[in-house]
Structure formats: C-alpha cells, structure tokens
Amino acid sequence: MKFKAEIDIMPLKELLDPQGKAVISGLKNMGITEITDVRIGKHLSVEIEAKDEKTAKARLDKACKELLSNPIMENYVYEIRSQK
C-alpha cells in the first residue's frame, strides 16, 4: 500500500528559537505588533510504501527519530493517509 505523510518538526518549546525571534523583531519593525510569538520549524511531505498503516507509522517514527529530527532539540508530529 502507498501512504502519504505530512511531517512537522519544531524546536522544543523550552528552547530559544533565534529565527522566530528575528521574525518577531522584523514584524514589530513593520508595525505588526499583534503577532506575539513565532516558532520556525520544518515541514516534510513524504510518500511511503508499506504493507499496512501500522508498519508505515513504525517506519516514519524510525526515520523521524534517527534522521529527520534531532530529538534533543526538536519534536515531531505527522499525519498519514493511504493513497489510492
């Protein structure tokens, strides 16, 4: 079966996000003060072939934990759906 997953990887909330702080500063310089926090992360769209959804999720977890994210500094979430 083919699956498609959308993965979001974000810095842990406890850690400083210098890119997000730079964006907030830029927004304030533009006069946009209503946006009070920005966190910048990564979004990945992947296709995966597996015998079932459980196997696909296990492979995605392995990929996220061992390559796509840094578990010391980032967390990840994903949504997976079968493709027809």
How far apart are alpha carbons 69 and 84 in whole angstroms? 28
Could you tell me the mean pLDDT of each successive run of 10 residues in the chain, 84 residues long?
Answer: 97 94 97 96 97 97 97 96 89
- Who's near 5: CB < 8 A, 6+ residues apart? 45, 46, 47, 48, 56, 60, 78, 79, 80, 81
How far apart are alpha carbons 70 and 75 in whole angstroms? 8
Answer for the pair 5, 79: CB distance below 8 angstroms, yes or no. Answer: yes
pTM assigned to the model: 0.86
